[in-house]
Structure 1
Amino acid sequence: MKAGKILSMIALLGFSFSLMAASVPEEKIATLRLAPIEVEPTPPAMQKVINSDVKQVRNYPMQPPVIPHRIDGYQIDLKVNKCMQCHARNSTGHSQAPMVSVTHYMDRENNFLASLSPRRYYCTQCHVSQLDAKILVENDFVDVKELMKHSSTTEH
């Protein structure tokens, strides 16, 4: 008896949500999709990776650096981390690549490890290649330096 009431309440909720979704006019839904939902358009060509090896300026404190080169075909799995061939402490002399941060050698309790921490092993979970792509959504991000400059001029 109780299970039947719960099931009917769930069905009623689902029905009311579907009615609410159907009542929103299509032009009021914000989307980046350029074709109607029932049309499968040909996707645009993939953008090119910026492959300049020039270090990018970070936009905010603690931002992971972007990867300034192509990483197509890099193997990063339980057996191999291709990134560490150049970015490991003992490889930076011949590769001239920046060494990974010492934080990558720390465990959750901030103890230093002899090798890369398992939680920092998969580089591409935080670091991404930069693409030469057109901006789809305008960004109004303001760097903290600009905010501080603006607040100091308004206080005086």
Structure 2
Amino acid sequence: MNITARYFIVPLLLLAGLAVAAPDAGNLEALRGKLPLDRDPAPARIADPLKDQGIQDRDYIHQPPLIPHQVRDYEVDLKVNQCLSCHGWKNAASRNAPRVSPTHYENRDGLTLSDISPRRYFCLQCHVPQTGAEPLVDSTFMPVESLR
């Protein structure tokens, strides 16, 4: 068989094999189930947060604190950050809430800004509500000695 024929016949045979196997592909099910691609699945519901449990211990240095209250329906977008209505430096004392760390007011060059740094504005990138959910996988992780 010459080289030109090999470049055309081999791919055609492969495509023919895929066409024969294609009917089996109907038996596969995606993670989204039988839901059509133009519809979004309902979001998975995480167990309700543990409410008002106070400040929780951290397992490693620089671990972001957990959020000890519900944040469902909190508005955080480019114009509004509802977290700052309690945790911003202006209102924290009157709301009896922890203040946002001064590090959240620094830009990437270490300069202190008059408002929250854009890279720290979306709180849920790092902070998550605490919950009583069991771990998804077993872990042998141990906190650093100084945090025990």
Structure 1 residue 125: Cα displacement: 0.4
Which of these two proteins has the greater Rg computed from alpha carbons?
A: 2
- Corresponding letter in the other structure for 2:124: T
Identity over aligned pairs, percent: 40
**Judging changes above 3 Å, is the alpha-carbon distance between structure 1 residues 84 and 44 closer, same or farther for their aligned structure 2 residues?**
closer
In the alignment, structure 1 segments of 5+ residues that lack a partner are: 1-7, 16-36, 150-156
TM value normalised by structure 1: 0.64
Aligned-residue RMSD, C-alpha:
2.8
Residue matched to 1:82: 82
Residue matched to 1:107: 107
Moved over 6 A (4+): none
**Judging changes above 3 Å, is the alpha-carbon distance between structure 1 residues 134 and 119 closer, same or farther for their aligned structure 2 residues?**
same
Write the mapping of 1:114-153 to structure 2, written as runs, cut at 5 A: 114-145=114-145
Q: Relative CO higher for 1 or 2, CA cutoff 8 Å, sep ≥ 6?
A: 2
Is 1:64 the counterpart of 2:64 in the alignment?
yes
Matched positions, count: 113
Name the SS for the 2:104 alignment partner: helix
Structure 1 residue 46: Cα displacement: 3.8
- Corresponding letter in the other structure for 1:103: T
In the alignment, structure 2 segments of 5+ residues that lack a partner are: 1-6, 15-27, 34-42
Is 1:92 the counterpart of 2:92 in the alignment?
yes
Structure 1 residue 44: Cα displacement: 7.9
- Corresponding letter in the other structure for 1:118: P
Name the SS for the 1:114 alignment partner: coil
